[in-house]
Amino acid sequence: MTARVRVRILGLNYAPEPTGIAPYTTGMARFLADAGHEVQVVTGLPHYPQWRLPEGYRSRRLTERDGDIRITRLPHPIPSRPTGRSRIAMEAAFAARAAMLGGPAPDVVVAVSPALLTVGAALRHKRAGRTAVGVVVQDLYGRAAVEAGVLTGREAAATDALERRLLGAADGVVAIHDRFRTSLLGLGVRDSRITTIRNWSHVRPAEGDPRAMRRALGWRDDEVIALHAGNMGAKQGLETVVEAARLADSSRRPVRFVLLGDGHQRTHLEREGRGIERLQFVDPLPAGEFETALAAADVLVLNERPEIAEMCVPSKLTSYFASGRPVVAATSLRSAATAEIAASGGGLAVTPGDPATLLGAVLGVVDDEEEALSMGLRGAMFARDHLHEKAARDAYVAWVEGLAGVRPAGAIPLPRRRSWVPARRAEPA
């Protein structure tokens, strides 16, 4: 066992949010608690990807427990139409409250970026020889602002300079991909302070019957199901998928494009896709059914806007590979997603922003049944060998203990059975 470390995690997203960054922040907190450390999570109100509060929550400061983890939820605005500036305002409100939080001084504060300003809140708690600060970089904030077209010119340069200064002041930084490590070095973060810890496949193997799931969702056996699962936001550029379905209609091709999930662009996409026979929208599915839906599809689609290149590693790839289905990724040649497709052999990367290319790629993959099967198997093997939860668990525990100056003296305990306790007490904001 090791000395007990008091850890405070600052991250805007946490369970019960089912997608995006939340599963990884939640997993990291549970890894540390399972290792015997004292963990407090300071997070926001659940809102992603629907961009609204779920039933049972109010815009107030709340306390919860996730097994042994203490959770403090801080109120913040939730924009109904999340533009770049409205998201920054939300993140700033959360970071300001997180910076003022009191209580016993932790040994390690871990900030999850984005939100970038949360790193500034974490650094307020930094004390030499007492409290170390680590940052987990899930998206490159400055790159995201530029590639998403949110900021340009002086604003973009100022954001880049802020990210450089904040990350450079941290005691340790986690990069979730080697591409991010290279970018962090370019921002001036010292190599000795960067640790690469890959996001892991957090979905479980499908236990349901894929054929029954196809019937339940109205998918016919004589049509190809091309499924995009996850957030429907601006950076996904899902208008390309809608137009690929429109092309399939006009050419009478036996393919159905399915958009499963939610997000602030869903209403817009539904409006754009009205009347397209080979396009289907499916509401988010609960755990168990979600994994079965992935397994029931013929092809899994990842789509990004052409200008998205360096800002992120799409988290859906960890779920896609684990499902054992072939992937078609319409994404920049410079993106981490393209690098993942090449490294895994689990799919095909094609030029983004071109509906005809996307449609042709989906049909081309399923036309070669043997290669499609091989792609799915290679992706599953890649998930098993490189995206396994145990590797991430051991790495995060070692990283935090290293920041605290703790040297492990034995094995990390096995995870305990945990239970979620929802909000029980509201406190004044």
pLDDT digits (tens, 9 = 90+) for 241-254: 999 999 999 999 99
Q: Is residue 205 part of a domain?
A: no
Q: State yes or no: pLDDT of 15 exceeds 90.
A: yes
pLDDT digits (tens, 9 = 90+) for 189-209: 999 999 999 999 888 778 899
Same domain, 224 and 368: yes
Same domain, 170 and 222: no
pLDDT digits (tens, 9 = 90+) for 328-381: 999 999 888 999 999 999 999 999 999 999 999 999 999 999 999 999 999 999
Q: Is residue 428 part of a domain?
A: no
Same domain, 152 and 219: no
At 410 the pLDDT is 41
Same domain, 194 and 237: no
- The total of structural domains in the chain comes to 2
86 CB contacts (<8 Å, ≥6 apart)?
A: 77, 79
- Check: CB of residue 241 under 8 Å from CB of residue 278: no
Q: Is residue 429 part of a domain?
A: no
Q: What is the mean pLDDT of the chain?
A: 89
Q: 315 to each of 9, 22, 24, 410, how far by Cα in Å?
A: 20, 11, 9, 32
Tokens describing residue 382:
């890649």
At 234 the pLDDT is 83
At 178 the pLDDT is 87
At 144 the pLDDT is 67
- How much is the average pLDDT of 205-219? 93
At 409 the pLDDT is 42
Tokens describing residue 206:
């499908």
Range of the domain at 406: 6-200+388-418
Same domain, 249 and 284: yes
Same domain, 288 and 322: yes
Same domain, 170 and 298: no
**Domain CATH number, residue 46:** 3.40.50.2000
Q: Is residue 423 part of a domain?
A: no
Same domain, 149 and 174: yes
At 367 the pLDDT is 95
Same domain, 142 and 249: no
Least confident of 6-20, 141-155, 392-406: 141-155
At 207 the pLDDT is 85
Same domain, 111 and 35: yes
Tokens describing residue 289:
């059914």
- How much is the average pLDDT of 96-112? 93
- Check: CB of residue 378 under 8 Å from CB of residue 408: no
pLDDT digits (tens, 9 = 90+) for 156-168: 788 888 999 999 9
pLDDT digits (tens, 9 = 90+) for 272-321: 999 999 999 999 998 889 999 999 999 999 999 988 776 677 889 999 99
Q: Is residue 1 part of a domain?
A: no
- How much is the average pLDDT of 181-187? 89
Same domain, 70 and 120: yes
Same domain, 242 and 362: yes
Q: Is residue 149 part of a domain?
A: yes
